[in-house]
Structure 1
Amino acid sequence: MTDIIDKAAMGLSAGLMLLGTVGMGILEILVGPPYSPVPMTNEAGDVIATPLISPQIRTGVVLAGVAVLGLYAAYKIATPLAEDAKTGHETVAD
């Protein structure tokens, strides 16, 4: 019982999280060393190598995927179930 919003939210959030972890990780490996998330320096303190994609960007992409899931959860809480809306079913509180 998934509609277009369910599929879009699941696809977008999964895509963003996979891009941030797996996709950008594979890209870093293909480019080659350094694999460190921080710039590498020599003994004089000069930066000799930096990662291709900043860790802040990768984290931001993953958090965007989590935010999409949060918005989807808020949407599902705010909208009533289709069966309850059709039949006018009300729940009885104690």
Structure 2
Amino acid sequence: MTQLDIVEKVATAFSAGTILVGIVGLGLVETLTGKPFGAAPMTNDAGEVVATPTVDPAIRTGLVILGLVVLFGVGLYRMAATDAAGTDTRREVTAD
């Protein structure tokens, strides 16, 4: 196992945070505020919008996608941080 440098730690924490806020945090907000639980606005038989979600689904989706893009960037950074032989240039750490 190799040590994570500060860039990887910050990016991984940011990625995890945005994904958790997008899925869990805003999902709890949506649940606690009551119905509707769906992502689409609810309409009546006449086609009038009678209820909309508390948090726009585009915001929730955007947070999750942002977290995944940052996580993908961390993977690209890790690939660029290795030398041409495929070995990691960082030092190994033994467990205590």
TM-score tier, shorter chain, comes to 0.7 to 0.9
Equivalence for 1:89: none
- The structure carrying a bigger helix percent of its residues is 1
Aligned-residue CA RMSD in angstroms?
1.5
Counterparts of 1:83 and 1:54, CA distance in 2: 43
Aligned residues: 84
TM-score norm. by structure 1 comes to 0.82
Unaligned segments of structure 2, at least 5 residues: 83-87, 92-96
CA apart distance, 1:39: 0.4
Q: Give 1:30 shift.
A: 1.2
Percent identity between the two aligned chains? 44
* Bigger RCO of structures 1 and 2 (CA < 8 A, at least 6 apart): 2
The structure having more radius of gyration, on CA atoms, is 1
Residue in 2 aligned with 1:10?
A: 12
The CA deviation string for residues 24-77 of structure 1, in whole angstroms up to 9 with x for no partner, is: 000001111111110001111100000011212111110000000111111111
